[in-house]
Amino acid sequence: MTDAQWRKIALFTDLTDEELALVQPLFTVVLKQAGEYVIEEGEKGDEMFILVKGRVRVTKAMILKGMKLPLAELKDPRKVLATVDSNKYPIFGEMALFDHDVRSATVEAIDDSEFLVTNRDRFYSMIDTAPALLCRLFIILGRRMSLTVRKSNSELVKLTTALALALTRQ
């Protein structure tokens, strides 16, 4: 990828040439075939992915593992949260850079896809080489995650309101 393409990635838009040169070696290129999982909900992981070519589908299980509901008769009841292409270089799995928890959603390649990938150890290596840059990148990622939480909260309010209305009409 060219430096101009790297700068189209929201995380790197405002980096200087020197900062970009420090960040680029932290990432490797990973190819995924259509139908292959990039991230699997419930699995542990420490990698962040940036989609640079292709399309992916983001899904979430509709029921918790082990629950017995009518939906459980379906093979794998999942809700599609998003279908995205590489036009805006979307980022997936960034929470893994902050915690050691399991993945919160599944990301599956729809087409053969290409990703820039880093992991927690490589990303945190900037503590020694570029701590101010690492701090700026964490702020950008934190804002992204904050926006996601706000959207989720809004959706949760809508769902609980709809449920309350449905229950009062019975």
Task: List residues bridging with 37 in a β-sheet.
Answer: 108
d(CA 87, CA 51): 9
The pLDDT tens digits of the residues spanning 53-72 come to 999 999 998 876 666 666 55
The pLDDT tens digits of the residues spanning 26-43 come to 999 999 999 999 999 999
Instruction: Answer yes or no: is pLDDT of 84 > 60.
Output: yes
> How is residue 36 written in tokens?
């292959």
Instruction: Answer yes or no: is pLDDT of 100 > 70.
Output: yes
d(CA 144, CA 73): 36
d(CA 111, CA 53): 9
Please choose, from the candidates 18, 35, 15, 23, the residue with its C-alpha nearest in 3D space to the C-alpha of residue 116. 23
Instruction: Answer yes or no: is pLDDT of 135 > 80.
Output: yes
Over range 130-146, report the average pLDDT: 90
Query: Residue 73 — pLDDT band, cuts 50, 70, 90?
Result: low
Other CB atoms within 10 Å distance of the CB of residue 135: 12
Q: What residue type is 11 in one-letter code? A: L
Residue 109 is predicted with a pLDDT of: 98
| All structural domains of the chain with their residue ranges | 3-168
Q: Mean pLDDT in the chain?
A: 89
Instruction: Answer yes or no: is pLDDT of 150 > 60.
Output: yes
Please report the sign of the dihedral spanned by the C-alpha atoms of residue 40, residue 45, residue 48, residue 54.
negative
Pairing of strands 106-109, 113-119: unpaired
Residue of higher predicted confidence among 147 and 92: 92
- 3-168 CATH choice from 3.40.50.1370, 2.60.120.10, 1.10.10.10, 2.60.40.10: 2.60.120.10
